[in-house]
Amino acid sequence: MAADNGASGNAPPGTLGATVVLVTIALFLMVAFQTFQLLAERKNLADLVRAQEQTIQEAMKLRQRFNAVAGATAQLAEQGDAGAKAIVESMRRQGITVKPHEEQPAGTGAPENAATGAPEKK
């Protein structure tokens, strides 16, 4: 009988080991690439958060100031000021809920400036 040259489907010795090694290397490179990409993306996201931090702080300060002014306006509206009533009604139509600015009892802290929400300077 004559030997078949590759017709029987038997691979030459060592081919299976080389295939396993190549697949393992390819899998390792794929995982390494994905890890590198994820780390780079994580760094970029952290940079974005740091870049937005000051803007968020400024927005919070602005919101506090707005709440102080809106509260004082609502308090004036409750006291009967026609202009303040018009402003409060306009804000309510726009979906802005306004609560009257509550006065601090005497001796509980420094009075706040309604425009800035900061303690008044003497």
Q: Is residue 100 part of a domain?
A: no
Instruction: Please check whether residue 35 lies inside any domain of the structure.
Output: yes
- The tally of domains found in the chain comes to 1
pLDDT tops 90 at residue 12: no
Residue 103: the pLDDT is 55
Residue 62 falls inside a structural domain: yes
Q: Give pLDDT, residue 10.
A: 67
Query: What separation in angstroms does the CA of 1 have from each of 25, 30, 36?
Result: 40, 47, 56
pTM of the model: 0.49
In a domain, 15, yes or no: no
Determine the structural domain holding residue 81 and report its residue range: 29-93
Does residue 66 belong to any structural domain of this protein?
yes
Report residue 114's pLDDT band, with 50, 70 and 90 as the boundaries: very low
